[in-house]
Amino acid sequence: MRTKDANETRRRGLEAFVYQVAYAVDSNGQSVLPKLESHISGINMLGDLGFKIPKDEKAVCKNISEVHQFVKYWEEKRDSYAYEIDGMVIKVNSLELQEKCGFTAHHPRWAIAFKFKAKQATSN
């Protein structure tokens, strides 16, 4: 992906989904982050601004059972999905709770990666 030639990078047709707002200011230079009520509201704001965001691949679940059902659905569907995926990230939606959960030195405590079962194949 890395190249010194911008035209080569452009020809590769790379795409990226945006999953989180880390910095956002309005036309007056004021932070808009305090106005966001939830993680999903930040993602939706990014979509409104024209960034590529997940559509069907995101959900706000009411409980851990709904999380489990959503992850299982995507694990079963991943072979027919347009992109290669090996899991999902489960996040706390409330920004207030995210703040309370905090971070380790490397990762937020309010998000966890769930890896799907490894694909198995037989070779000749």
Counting residues of the chain whose pLDDT is more than 90, the rounded percentage is 59
Where are the domain boundaries for CATH 3.30.1490.70 in the chain?
60-124
Q: Is the pLDDT of residue 95 over 80?
A: yes
In what helix (H) or strand (E) does residue 45 lie, and over which residues does it extend? helix 39-48
The reported pLDDT for the residue numbered 15 is 81
More confident: 49 or 6: 49
Q: Which two tokens stand for residue 52?
A: 């590529």
Global pTM reads 0.77
Sign of CA dihedral 81, 84, 88, 89: negative
* CA–CA gap between residue 60 and residue 62 (Å, rounded): 7
CA-based end-to-end distance of the chain: 32
Secondary-structure class of domain 60-124 per CATH: alpha beta
The reported pLDDT for the residue numbered 1 is 59
Considering just the CA atoms, what is the radius of gyration of the chain in Å? 18
Q: Which two tokens stand for residue 88?
A: 């999902």
Query: 2-6, 29-33, 114-118: which has the minimum mean pLDDT?
Result: 2-6
